[in-house]
Copies of this chain bind each other. A is one copy, B any other.
Amino acid sequence: MFDLAAGAQGVKVPIDQDRLWQRHAEMAAFGQIPGPRADRSGVNRPCFSADDIAARQLLITWARARGYSVHQDPIANLFIRRAGTTDGAPVATGSHMDTQPRGGRFDGIYGVLAGFEVLEALDDAGIATTHPLEVVAWTNEEGGRFAPGTMGSMVYAGAAKIEQFLDTTDIAGTRFADALAATLAATPAPVDRRFGDAFAGYIEAHIEQGPRLEHAGARIGVVTGIQGMAWFEVTIRGETAHAGTCPVGQRRDALRAAHAAISSLYQLTADPDDTLRFTIGRFVVDPGSPNTVPNLVRFSIDMRHPDPDTLARLADAIPSTIAGAVGPCTAEVRTTNRKAPMRFDPAVIDRVEAATKVLGLPYLVMPSGAGHDAGYVADLCPTGMVFIPCEAGVSHNEAEFARPEDLAAGAAVLASSLLGMAGTR
Report the minimum CB–CB distance from A13 to chain B (whole Å).
29
With contacts A244-B369, A302-B290 known, is A250 near B211, CB below 8 A?
A: yes
Task: Say yes or no: B281 contacts A209, CB within 8 Å.
Answer: no
Give the contacting residue for A211; candidates B246, B280, B282, B288; CB below 8 A. Answer: B246
Report the minimum CB–CB distance from A264 to chain B (whole Å).
12
Report the minimum CB–CB distance from A370 to chain B (whole Å).
5
Q: Nearest chain-B residue to A231 (Cβ)? A: B290
Q: Is A10 an interface residue (CB 8 A)?
A: no
With contacts A288-B282, A289-B282, A393-B241 known, is A274 near B246, CB below 8 A?
A: no
Number of copies: 2
In the bound complex, residues from chain B placing their C-beta under 8 Å from that of A19 are none
With contacts A215-B250, A248-B271, A266-B259 known, is A243 near B292, CB below 8 A?
A: no
A241 CA / B212 CA spacing, docked (Å): 12
Report the minimum CB–CB distance from A78 to chain B (whole Å).
27
Report the minimum CB–CB distance from A336 to chain B (whole Å).
8
Task: Say yes or no: B304 contacts A281, CB within 8 Å.
Answer: no
Task: Say yes or no: A274 contacts B248, CB within 8 Å.
Answer: yes
Give the contacting residue for A229; candidates B244, B279, B293; CB below 8 A. Answer: B244
Q: Is A190 an interface residue (CB 8 A)?
A: no
In the bound complex, residues from chain B placing their C-beta under 8 Å from that of A304 are 243-244
Task: Say yes or no: A289 contacts B281, CB within 8 Å.
Answer: yes
Q: Which of A246, A256, A369, A395 has most chain B Cβ within 10 Å? A: A246
Task: Say yes or no: B290 contacts A281, CB within 8 Å.
Answer: yes
Task: Say yes or no: B292 contacts A281, CB within 8 Å.
Answer: yes
Q: Is A227 an interface residue (CB 8 A)?
A: yes
In the bound complex, residues from chain B placing their C-beta under 8 Å from that of A231 are 290
Q: A246-B369, A256-B280 are in contact. List 19 more A-B contacts (CB 8 A).
A: A212-B250, A242-B369, A243-B277, A244-B302, A244-B371, A245-B368, A245-B370, A247-B275, A248-B274, A248-B276, A253-B279, A255-B281, A259-B263, A263-B263, A279-B291, A281-B294, A282-B289, A284-B285, A284-B288
A-B contact pairs, 7 of them (CB 8 A): A241-B393, A243-B304, A245-B370, A245-B395, A281-B285, A283-B288, A290-B302
